[in-house]
Amino acid sequence: MEHPYLSLIIPAYNEETRLPATLEQAFTFLQRQDYSWEVLVVENGSQDRTYEIAEEFASRYPNFHALHEQRRGKGLAVQRGMLAARGCYRFMADADFSMPPSEINRFLPPAVDVDIAIASREKPGSVRYNEPPYRHFVGRVFNTLIRLMALPGLHDTQCGFKCFRAEVAEDVFRYQTLAGWSFDVEILYIARRRGYRIAELPIDWYFNPESKVDVLRDSFAMFTDLLKIRLNAARGVYGPEVRS
């Protein structure tokens, strides 16, 4: 397949425990679809068998590919996958599949036809399962900062499920500078700056207690990154702004 319809990109860091089930879920779902597809597992800097597991799966199924990104950072893994993918639509998914894979088709035409479709745990119609109240509260505080400083109108930029049209991904991700958790904010900021349409879609979302997010540490880092994003924009790092 020179250009499959869908590329599913899964960043994976120290995911030897969760990755096998995730890849089985992805395969079970995708093999039932009537469109062509590929899966790219991008391992970066793991200290366990994550890459070996991805390679083993790829050896069994030709539509699966294992990529090794030596540099650490979820943002770098997603960037590598997005730019290596060949699909007409490129969908990033967290390795824990906290959103059921059956929801993926809601991000593709004909269900939606926009430049970028992002999963939202805050839009009416979304349902959160098992999330501790403190996690939700901290997330809302930080999202308020995101709306004030970078992305007014978007209510959940950090959910790890996002779909990009191929040409949009290839444009936006080439400007990415952030390697860590807040790369989502930067990518969406660049996309909006360059005039692309973004839609938030409500989803069912299941909290995973094995999440690698450290709320306090990562929230402070994200605040610092928001300042970097604004500075980058002022310096012209993200290219010319496209006004609609």
Residue 241 lies inside a defined structural domain of this protein: no
Write out the residue range of the structural domain in which residue 174 sits: 6-235
Q: Identify the CATH number of the domain in which residue 23 sits.
A: 3.90.550.10
Residue 11 lies inside a defined structural domain of this protein: yes
How would you label 99-136 residue by residue, b for 16+ Cβ within 10 Å and e otherwise?
bebebbeebbeeeeebbbbbbbbbeeebeeeebeeeee
pLDDT tier, 243 (very low <50, low <70, confident <90, very high otherwise): confident
Residue 1 lies inside a defined structural domain of this protein: no
Residue 131 lies inside a defined structural domain of this protein: yes
The first and second tokens of residue 14, run together, are 């120290």
pLDDT tens digits, residue range 202-217? 998 877 766 555 655 6
How would you label 6-16 residue by residue, b for 16+ Cβ within 10 Å and e otherwise?
bbbbbbbbbbb
d(CA 63, CA 114): 26
The first and second tokens of residue 73, run together, are 């950072």
Residue 73 lies inside a defined structural domain of this protein: yes
pLDDT tens digits, residue range 19-56? 999 999 999 999 999 999 999 999 998 999 999 999 99
Residue 244 lies inside a defined structural domain of this protein: no
Residue 26 lies inside a defined structural domain of this protein: yes
pLDDT tier, 226 (very low <50, low <70, confident <90, very high otherwise): very high
Residue 82 lies inside a defined structural domain of this protein: yes
Quote the number of domains for the chain: 1
